[in-house]
Amino acid sequence: MLPNRGGTLTCAALILLVACGEEVPRPPPEKAEQVLAGHACDLVTASELSQLFVGELTPVRDAPARDSACTWKAADSGEAVFRYEIRPYIEDLEAGVREFAAGDSGELNVEVRPGLGQTAVWSDIGLFVSRNGRTLQLTPFDEEIPRAIYEELASLLLERLESGR
């Protein structure tokens, strides 16, 4: 039996591309429409969040009202659990996060997190994910909750933004 040459060639080309370490240049994404269909708190429901965080959460719409930000608190204690904000796209995310921390940028820990978007970083001030022309900032207030849960939430929020919800 003869080997599948088409698959072998494709695999060899892929191996060469990965081995060379070259990235295929991509143009930066177009800026997404900055206006949400509703308030950022409407991107997820309390029921969805209770499945992720194993507890009842309630949204707190920011005052003065900002459509692009939402804080969620534990229903029983009233303590803030996390806050997210939809920002304009930040092309150099690591540098952009350092700018947010202005005075403490020298001591700010920034860790690149692959697999969440075009770029994603965890820092001392939260998780930032840039994807499809937007940047999502997710700030956890409860250090007991694992990062994986916040990453899952970030993915869900970005999916909702992209679907126009």
| pLDDT given for residue 165 in this prediction | 55
| pLDDT given for residue 107 in this prediction | 74
* 79 occurs within a structural domain: yes
List CB contacts of 126: < 8 A, sequence separation 6 or more: 137, 138, 139, 140
* 8 occurs within a structural domain: no
Tokens of 7: 């698959």
| pLDDT given for residue 37 in this prediction | 62
* 23 occurs within a structural domain: no
Helix axes 46-53, 147-163, angle to 10 degrees: 150
* 88 occurs within a structural domain: yes
pTM for the model stands at 0.72
Instruction: Please tell me the total count of domains within the chain.
Output: 1
| pLDDT given for residue 104 in this prediction | 54
* 22 occurs within a structural domain: no
Check: CB of residue 86 under 8 Å from CB of residue 160: no
* 120 occurs within a structural domain: yes
One pLDDT digit (tens) per residue for the chain, 165 residues: 444 444 433 333 333 333 333 333 333 334 344 445 678 898 999 999 988 988 899 998 865 556 789 999 999 999 999 999 998 888 888 888 878 766 554 577 888 888 888 889 999 889 999 988 889 999 999 989 999 999 999 999 999 888 865
| pLDDT given for residue 36 in this prediction | 57
For residue 20, count CB atoms less than 10 angstroms from its CB and return exposed for 0-12, middle for 13-18, buried for 19 or more. exposed
Q: Which domain holds residue 118?
A: 31-163
* 42 occurs within a structural domain: yes
